[in-house]
Every structure is written in C-alpha cells, then in structure tokens.
Amino acid sequence: MCGIVAYIGNKEAYPIIIEGLRRLEYRGYDSAGVSILNGDIHTYKKKGKVKDLEDFVEGKNKSGTLGIGHTRWATHGRPNDKNAHPHNSGNSDLTLVHNGIIENYASLKEALAELGHTFTSDTDTEILVHLIEEYQKRDDLSLEKAVQKALKKAVGAYAIVVFDKKSPNKIVGARKSSPLVLGLGKDEFFLASDATPIIKFTNKVIYLNDEEIVTVNRDGSYEVVTLDDEVQNHEVKEIDLKIEELEKGGYDHFMLKEIHQQPTTIFESMRGRINAEEGWILVGGMQDHMKRMVDADRIIIAACGTSWHAGLIGEYLFEDLARVPVEVEYASELRYRNPVIRERDVVLALSQSGETADTLAALEMARNKGALLYGIVNNVGSSIARFTDCGSYIHAGPEIGVASTKAFTSQLVVLTLMALNLAKEKGTISEGYFRKLLYAMEDIPKKVEQILTLDEQIKYIATEIKDAPNALYLGRGYNFPIALEGALKLKEISYIHAEGYPAAEMKHGPIALIDESMPVIVMATNVSAYEKIVSNIQEVKARKGMVIAIVTEGDTEIKKIADYTIEIPETEEPLSPLLSVIPLQMLSYHIAVLRNCNVDQPRNLAKSVTVE
C-alpha cells in the first residue's frame, strides 16, 4: 500500500521516478506526487493516477538529479491534491514520502502545533516531516540524526524517504513494518517499495530491516544504522527479475495476462519439486524441518483474502492426505485474540506479496509462542520470506493485477506438494494413490491450457449476467473455498455483490435471495458429492434461479437442468480447485470488462496491504 521511489545519481531523476511510480501504481492510485531537487525543492502532486500527475507536470521545471516520488492509497485524509505526498516541512527545506500509518500522529501534532507548526494536510505523514524539522532546528542535527530521533517518537508502521535542500547530496530512508529496498547502481542509488522500479538499472539490492535507517550519498557511499545507532552490514543480493515480466506483453490487462500465464506458472511452481515417473516429491523448505513437521500437533494457516482461500484448501489437503489437524485463520483475527499456539504447532503463512501487515504481525505473535514458522510467498526477499524459519517460494513471477489469480493457483500447487510430501513421510497415503496424484499434478498445466480455450463461451455467459445486482457461488468439499474465491473475484473487480457458500448451507438462509435475477454459479465437478450437488441445483431451479454450472467434461445430467454449463477436464478431487477456479477468474474478468471497470486497479483496493 502506497509506493515509494527515490533516486540520487547523475541522471535526470524525474523520468526515473515517474517510470518507477507507474510500476508501483498497483500499490495505490489515489494520488501521486514527486519532489525534485534543483537548488530549491520542486514538489508536484495530484489526485488520481500517475498519468494525471504527468499531465500536470508537463511543461514545468522538473530538472534535477535527486528526487522522490509516491503513489498513494489513502489512510488518513481523503484522496485529494493537498493530502498527496510528498509533504514538505514548514520551512520548506525538507520533503518526505511515507508508506504506513503513524498511529500517535494526533498527540505529536498537538505538541508540534504548540511549538508553532502549522499543517496543510489531513495526513499523519505531514507530522513526521515537521518533527524532523523540529529536531534539526532545536538540536542542530544532521538529517539522518533528526530522522532517527523523530522515528523513535513515532508509533506505527513506516517506510519513509526524505531529503533536505540544505544537504543536496544525500537521501535518507527508513523502514518499520513497511517495505523499503535499496538499489545499488553505478554511481547512483535507488530506494523503492519493491525492486520493480530498480531492476531496469541494477539487480543489486539490499532489503532493509525494521527500524533501520539508510543514508545514500552522491559520492557513492551509503550507511545503514539502526534506530539505536548500530551500524549494519547488509549482504548485497542479486535479484533475478526480467523487465518483460513487468509488462502486459500484448494483453489488454495484467489480470488477463496473469490468467493466461497459469499453465506456465503452475508448471514453474512444481519444477524440480516433483517427478511422477520416478515417484518422488521434494519440497526444499520442508526438508530441514521434517521431523518437526511430522511431529506437529497442528498446522495453523494464517493469511488474508485470496491467500486465505488458498489456506482453506490447504486445510482439506493436509487433513485429507497427511492426517494432521489444521486450523485456518484470518491473520487479522489471529493476531489480536489470545490463541492457543504451542511449540509443537507449525504456523504456515500464505502471502503473495510477503508484505501483508496482518500476516506478518500474526507471525510475530506465533514466534513468541515458539511455533515453527513456514512462509509460502511469491515475492522473493519480502518481509514474510525473511521473517519465517523456513518456507517455499511459489515462483509465480510478479503479479501486478490487483486481483490475485496466478499466485492463487501457485499457492495451491505448493500446498498440495507439501501435503503430499508430509503424507509420504508420515505414511498416511498409499503408494498407489500417491503416484496417481503425482501424475495428475503433472497433467494440470495442459488441462488449464484447455480451459483457457473456453474464453468465447465464458465471455458469452458474462454478457448474460453482467447486469445482475447479486450473484451466489456454491461449492462443496474441495470446491467450497473456490466458491468463496469466485465471489471475491467478482466483487472486487466488477463491484457486483456476490457471496460464496457451501452448497448445502444454501438452504439455511441464502436460498431466500434466489429469484430469476440471481445467477448462481455452482462448482459441480466433485465426484464424491455429485448427487448432492445435483439436488442443490434442482433447489435453485425450483426457485427460478439461473444456474451456471462448472462440470466435468462429458457430464450429461447437469447439462439438462442448468442454464449454462462450462465443461472442464477431469482430475483427482484434491486437485480439482486448480482447474475449477480458472473459469471463475475468466468470468469475473469478462464481466468487469463489459461493465467498463478498471480491471487492474479496482476502486479502493491496493495490492500489497501493508497497513492494518
């Protein structure tokens, strides 16, 4: 949430910062702004997208080789020009961008106001820049020392970048609970919320830790210290990210590209971890901790949103195959109640971004209780990946569309492989069934490819239901979480109200909503509960609901009663979510496009939720 980018070097800063902001726009698009140093600080900020900022800055003085930029997801203060970042100090010497929330901003603001500071925005951020200014003035401190002192007073989460026109050869950045990456180029430095704005210039980065402050200087030197002034020597990492991975690659939207990448991304998530012919599975992250995992009393899965839905399927997988009790928790709830977590528990955190504040906080709480922490993360080098004791990357590549698609299926792949690996170690699965599932896993990418060819049919169904005010998604067993995920995808990108329900629960309430204007999307691929699903469909039809059923190829029975059927290839039931979610992603995508919604940047959302 909120994207930060900063540059110091020999090149013009503005084009680098604007391009960086475009790459970070998925983190928030309520407003954007830049400050460029050229003798004086030139600050430009605008409500809306990065494009609106570019139009506004057109023709204005933006030359300079040092600058900072920000794209905002509003927390404190409405999305408008005055609340856009950067925020400048009262004496106009300092300019600062911030991602996070300063929770004690109100008391700090009061104290600063008493000292004569006046504020021009409604943000918590502006308080910080005034506080730094105050310490500089009162104690005659350098920028980095004043930042250090100010951050010691701040309660909350922050990634900040700030510069001072009186120190024109340095930029200072700091982080706590919000990400900040330092890019080391040749005679130039970059600071950004993630590596995407940096990769065009250098693949050498340092991931800052919480409560660290970095000072980068024009002479090529830099220093990282803690809030307590201890010098930190970080290993410089080389990141493996290609610029093409950050482009739409000919697709109309990132979401469409990411849906269509899934045959490849699912394969990538499995690569080197499975061999059906030779009959093995090997999940690297588990190996060093296998005994602890085999002996675990419980697995607790903590996640948010779509990742939480993947976690629910994880529960079915681990319990079904490896016979270990599983609890799936919203990270935001887990962190604030007083849960029973013991040393013999394994806490599994699922997160595409690896930066979700609630998931990270739940992990911190679980670490204090002694559980083993395992991360299943997409974003390499992210906070959750670094915080956990062990883990597995899902290798889906950068996911830029705000609605998660390919990360979800890759999370399912890793969960399935982990459950199978554990089942094998514990001896809870027969050799025959193990082999069968391995072969079925290897077949998934080509089956997903086959589903993607149904695009025209799914688009047609989308035209039929695009104006519905509500939609209901039903599923059973492994496909119940897919009903939840289908409903979430529709809600977030098309703004149609949708609910996911276990099919049998419909009778206990939601059936009251069903009439001819209510599309009901039913996951009907389960072999084990087939007859029961058929009955649920009959119940909807008896009340004039419109049924769209996702069925297994060759199904004839449901075809007779449903209004539309989408036929997908058969697979083993534990793997069926990997296939049944694909048509739901496609359906939501087409409905959103037909409703002229901004598919990649839905209103009010942001991709990386780094605030509580």
Does residue 47 carry a catalytic annotation?
no
Q: For residue 83, which of 127, 41, 39 has the smallest C-alpha distance?
A: 127
Token output for 165: 């026109």
The verdict on 356 binding ligand F6R (CB under 6 A) reads: yes
Of 24 and 609, the one with the shorter C-beta distance to ligand F6R is 609
The verdict on 351 binding ligand F6R (CB under 6 A) reads: yes
The verdict on 305 binding ligand F6R (CB under 6 A) reads: yes
DSSP state of 235: P
Residues 6+ apart with CB under 8 A from 488: 305, 306, 309, 498, 500
Site for ligand F6R in 404-433 (CB under 6 A): 404
Q: With contacts defined by CB under 6 A, name the span among 35-43, 101-109, 260-268, 299-307 that binds ligand F6R.
A: 299-307
Please pick, among 2, 109, 176, 304, the residue that the annotation labels catalytic. 2
Of 479 and 588, the one with the shorter C-beta distance to ligand F6R is 588
- Provide, rounded to whole angstroms, the least separation between the CB of residue 304 and ligand F6R: 4
Token output for 495: 């703004």
Please pick, among 165, 170, 257, 607, the residue that the annotation labels catalytic. 607
- Provide, rounded to whole angstroms, the least separation between the CB of residue 474 and ligand F6R: 20
Let me know the angle formed at the C-alpha of 394 by 198 and 419, rounded to the nearest 5 degrees: 165
Does residue 597 carry a catalytic annotation?
no
Strands (E), 343-433: 345-351, 372-377, 390-393
Of 125 and 306, the one with the shorter C-beta distance to ligand F6R is 306
One residue of 43, 123, 352, 526 binding ligand F6R per CB under 6 A: 352
One residue of 193, 269, 359, 580 binding ligand F6R per CB under 6 A: 359
Strands (E), 195-285: 204-207, 212-217, 222-226, 231-232, 237-238, 274-275, 280-281
Q: With contacts defined by CB under 6 A, name the span among 93-101, 233-241, 352-360, 506-514 that binds ligand F6R.
A: 352-360
Q: How far is CA 94 from CA 166, 221, 369, 517, in A?
A: 9, 21, 42, 57
Helical (H) or strand (E) element with 577? helix 576-594
The span from the CA of 387 to the CA of 367, in Å, is 10
Q: With contacts defined by CB under 6 A, name the span among 21-29, 130-138, 170-178, 300-308 that binds ligand F6R.
A: 300-308
The span from the CA of 574 to the CA of 215, in Å, is 51
The verdict on 161 binding ligand F6R (CB under 6 A) reads: no
Q: With contacts defined by CB under 6 A, name the span among 26-34, 251-259, 260-268, 353-361 that binds ligand F6R.
A: 353-361
Contact yes or no for 2/70 (Cβ under 8 A):
yes
Site for ligand F6R in 464-493 (CB under 6 A): 488, 492
The span from the CA of 458 to the CA of 587, in Å, is 6
The verdict on 609 binding ligand F6R (CB under 6 A) reads: yes
- Give the total of residues touching ligand F6R (CB under 6 A): 14
- Provide, rounded to whole angstroms, the least separation between the CB of residue 258 and ligand F6R: 11
The verdict on 97 binding ligand F6R (CB under 6 A) reads: no
One residue of 307, 479, 576, 610 binding ligand F6R per CB under 6 A: 307
One residue of 191, 348, 403, 611 binding ligand F6R per CB under 6 A: 403
- Phi and psi at 365, nearest 5°, equal -65, -45
Q: For residue 344, which of 300, 393, 286, 407 has the smallest C-alpha distance?
A: 300
Contact yes or no for 71/3 (Cβ under 8 A):
yes
Residue nearest to ligand F6R (CB): 305
Of 75 and 307, the one with the shorter C-beta distance to ligand F6R is 307
Of 429 and 521, the one with the shorter C-beta distance to ligand F6R is 521
The verdict on 392 binding ligand F6R (CB under 6 A) reads: no
Contact yes or no for 162/171 (Cβ under 8 A):
yes
The verdict on 382 binding ligand F6R (CB under 6 A) reads: no
Q: For residue 478, which of 458, 499, 497, 503 has the smallest C-alpha distance?
A: 503
Helical (H) or strand (E) element with 47? strand 40-47
The verdict on 304 binding ligand F6R (CB under 6 A) reads: yes
- Provide, rounded to whole angstroms, the least separation between the CB of residue 308 and ligand F6R: 7
Give the relative orientation of helices 406-426 and 431-452 as an angle to the nearest 10 degrees.
170
Residue carrying structure tokens 């004690």: 104
Cα 345–chain centre separation: 25
Of 434 and 480, the one with the shorter C-beta distance to ligand F6R is 480
Of 373 and 429, the one with the shorter C-beta distance to ligand F6R is 373
The verdict on 311 binding ligand F6R (CB under 6 A) reads: no
The verdict on 306 binding ligand F6R (CB under 6 A) reads: yes
Per-residue DSSP letters for 410-430? HHHHHHHHHHHHHHHHHT-S-
Residue 106's CB: how many other CB atoms inside 10 A? 12
Token output for 331: 């990270």
The verdict on 353 binding ligand F6R (CB under 6 A) reads: yes
Show which residues are catalytic: 2, 607
| Sites of contact with ligand F6R (CB under 6 A) | 304-307, 351-353, 356, 359, 403-404, 488, 492, 609
